[in-house]
A and B are shown apart, each in its own frame.
Chain A
Amino acid sequence: MEYFAQQMVNGVTLGSVYGLIAIGYTMVYGIIGMINFAHGDIFMISTFISLITFIALLSIGITWIPLALLIVLIISMAMTAVYGWTVERLAYRPLRASFRLAPLITAIGMSIVLQNYVQIVQGARVKPLPPIIKGSYTLMEKNGFTVQISNMQILIILTTIILMLAFSALISKTSLGRCQRACEQDQTMAALLGINVDRTISLTFIMGASLASVAGLMYLLYYGVIDFYIGFVVGIKAFTAAVLGGIGSLPGAMLGGLIIGLVETFWSAYFSIEYKDVAAFSILIIVLIFMPSGLLDKPEVEKV
């Protein structure tokens, strides 16, 4: 039971990170209906920017951790947003009116570019970062086994909840959210009504990239090691989460992230760590057999 509770805590933490990245996939899919394959690599870039900024701050003498982290977060969000915007501008916008597979191929191409770019400019070795946020609370203690939640885990879960609430409000309450929903339904009509479609789509990419950069910072602080390849693995998981929850749905992305995170953690804890990815993907396939459009998506009725 205690072991179970501990794994629950770990799984929810992992799921939160996946959920944050999954939102980026789901928002882009919702608005232009394409799989942004480069999103995982945007996440990877954000971890690198965070790491570099953090070390740079330490080297110029800013050692008070909360301030340093705040600066890192702001810089990382801004720079990653520039990357997200650039990818959209270079690889997706020229193909907006093209057929479905064209942007998918440019997205895969961009993903290859970003991975190799980071490998070239930062080297292929893993980059370690010593743990920065330490300390933990004991939730319960029984039979000599303690269930702990670390400060880092609390930070991750809290940040995710706050960002989720903020984003839901942004989509449902603000004019930008209204523009996004309008573009989602009908781009031509939205343009006729005076919405700048290109700008809205760019902003969507910027928002997705910023969220990914928050997830990137969390990932960096939680795991402490990054390399140029993490974007692929984490990206695929997050994308799986987005599809599992019903791609295009914000709560779905979060739910999918939690499910994937929990499945992975419990499978590693109780069965075998080697096959945790197989477990996550199998859950996806099984769910899609019975609910072909994910958990929270309303079934699309195709009309002729």
Chain B
Amino acid sequence: MDRTSEKQQSSLMKNALIEALISAAIALALSIFMIGLRTSTATGGLVLTYRIPLVASLVTLVFFGRLAFNLFWWSRSTVHTKGPKRRGTRKKQLGTGVLSLPRVSLFLVFSLPIILFVLNAKLNLGLPLRYWFDIATLVLTYIMLGWGLNIVVGMAGLLDLGYVAFYAVGAYSYALLAQHFGLSFWLCLPLAGLLAACWGALLGFPVLRLRGDYLAIVTLAFGEIIRIILLNWYQFTGGPDGLSGIPRPSFFGLPFKRYGDNTFHLFFGLEYSTLHRILFLYYLILILALITNAITNKVRCLPIGRAWEALREDEIACRSLGINTVNTKLTAFATGAMFGGFAGSFFATRQGFISPESFTFIESAIILAIVVLGGLGSQIGVVIASIVMIGGFELIRNMAWLKLVFGQDFDPSLYRMLLFGMAMVTIMVWKPRGFISRREPTVFLKETAL
């Protein structure tokens, strides 16, 4: 080995050590008070308990972690290319052929649950199907919300931090209409969508002249206003107690009940199972979500969809080309809100109970995170992000084996949101443009053959 490379090696080692020491010092500063000293309530005020070993192990972990990172990872990738890779070079043939990926997955999401259900019943496999279907339904709800918000944020480029307000409007509309007027789910669904769309347009008016981040704070404020009203208007919304006893949906008039004359299982000559309703809810949200997607894709090619995308790119250019920006913005808000309203009434009928607690800012943030992490404006990206962020973290809640590693006091659900936040940061830093950064242009310039 010659001199210079040896020298390089030693200076590399030295730098790595210094950086690791700095990291460890920062970790010490961060943790010494917050982790090292825990306040707990006792008689006569707060007392401190010391947890120095925890801090020490954390700092050591950071030190060696950073050292290993510097030596084995960064030293190799010093010449890694920055900047975006060339786009458009990879051509994925996603949309052609009978056995293309979208079709196969569509077929699977439609048939797999029913196959599993039948197999489970016939062969007594004892799979926790209810749990799986619940997670799938939850993920699909977020996919639908993500697609709804994608219209506002991804297509029209209007940053909306209060999307959950429309979700709440939809849920409360359905609950109140069904309870006070006895309307059925199928009648309430369009009404809830309509009401949410009206609220969307209502929010649209004051924000017409606002740009960028001013828009963000106003939508956030709007979401909070709706939540506070729901929380305090006790006579109308039940306040913090929420609304319970919301009617469950029926299969075109056939209720999912064990006893009764005209129930679902009697009509179809099946044995009663609680899974019927769960399965029905799964298909319901699946179809609602697919309708959302279909409409979005269709509208994208219509003049209004093109106007939304043009608005996202440049508002001034839009105006100078004669696009009515007022109408464009209002329709974007109203359409996005309408899908939020649909999802909301589905949520209400699925839960049977709603309270303002389900509609906090964190929900808006999660939906926005799904849209951005998936890749702004990408429909498939929303699906991927929902599966990862919602499905993945729902699984963590029930990981019993973690208890074996960290001891019996370990509560995985406590760490769920912490990991969720970390994942948001990590994914964004790793892929700043989201999972699917490639945008399918809706208009092509026809190139003539040379």
Contacts and interface: CB of A to CB of B under 8 A. Distances in A.
A56 B37 contact: yes
Contacts of A277: 224-225, 228
B33 A49 contact: yes
A91 B415 CA distance: 20
Residue among A45, A102, A284 with the highest chain B CB neighbour number at 10 A: A102
B361 A288 contact: no
B167 to A, nearest CB: 17
A122 interface: yes
Contacts of A122: 34, 38-39
Interface string A90-118: 11001100111110111011111111111
A165 to B, nearest CB: 28
Contacts of A125: 41
A288 B424 contact: no
Residue among B26, B206, B415, B429 with the highest chain A CB neighbour number at 10 A: B429
Contacts of B420: 109, 112
Given A100-B212, A106-B429, A240-B217, A278 B228 contact: yes
Interface stretch (B137-145, B187-195, B323-331, B368-376): B368-376
A3 interface: no
A99 B214 CA distance: 17
A82 interface: yes
Given A35-B213, A118-B34, A130-B45, A288 B218 contact: yes
Given A51-B46, A129-B46, A121 B421 contact: no
A121 B213 contact: no
B136 to A, nearest CB: 24
A127 B47 CA distance: 11
B213 A247 contact: yes
Contacts of B34: 45, 48-49, 52, 117-118, 121-122
B1 interface: no
A108 B221 contact: no
B41 A112 contact: no
Contacts of A196: none
A110 B426 CA distance: 10
Given A91-B429, A125-B41, A288-B206, A105 B216 contact: no
Contacts of B159: 101, 104
B425 to A, nearest CB: 4
Interface in A124-145: 125, 127-130
Contacts of B209: 289, 292
B29 interface: yes
Contacts of B45: 128, 130
Contacts of B40: 123
A83 B369 contact: no
A122 B46 CA distance: 12
B114 interface: no
B35 A121 contact: yes
Nearest to B424: A109
A53 interface: yes
A267 interface: no
Interface in A12-50: 29, 33, 35, 45, 48-49
Interface string B354-370: 00000001100100110
Contacts of B39: 51-52, 55, 122-123, 127
A101 B314 CA distance: 16
Interface in B403-450: 414-415, 417-418, 420-425, 428-429, 432-433
A281 B224 contact: yes
Contacts of A293: 214
B211 interface: yes
B368 A108 contact: yes
Interface in B202-216: 206-207, 209-214, 216
Contact of A86 (B30, B33, B362): B30
B325 to A, nearest CB: 13
A55 B266 CA distance: 68
A66 to B, nearest CB: 20
Nearest to A281: B221
B425 A110 contact: yes
A302 B225 contact: no
A118 B222 CA distance: 28
Contacts of A52: 33-34, 37, 39, 48
Contacts of A29: 213
B232 interface: yes
B428 A112 contact: no
B373 A105 contact: yes
B317 interface: yes
B220 interface: yes
A89 B239 CA distance: 42
Interface string B17-61: 000000000100110011101111100011110000000000000
A168 interface: no
A275 B229 CA distance: 8
Contacts of B417: 112, 115-116
A34 to B, nearest CB: 8
A304 B314 CA distance: 9
A35 to B, nearest CB: 6
Contacts of B228: 274-275, 277-278
Contact of A116 (B41, B214, B218, B421): B421
26 contacts: A33-B213, A45-B34, A49-B33, A51-B39, A55-B48, A75-B33, A79-B33, A82-B26, A101-B153, A108-B369, A110-B421, A112-B417, A112-B424, A116-B415, A122-B39, A123-B40, A127-B41, A232-B361, A236-B224, A247-B214, A275-B232, A278-B225, A281-B221, A285-B218, A289-B209, A293-B214
Given A56-B48, A109-B369, A288-B214, 4 more contacts: A82-B29, A98-B432, A232-B361, A288-B218
Q: What 6 A-B pairs have minimum CB-CB distances, sorted nearest first?
A: A109-B424, A112-B421, A113-B421, A281-B221, A116-B418, A98-B432
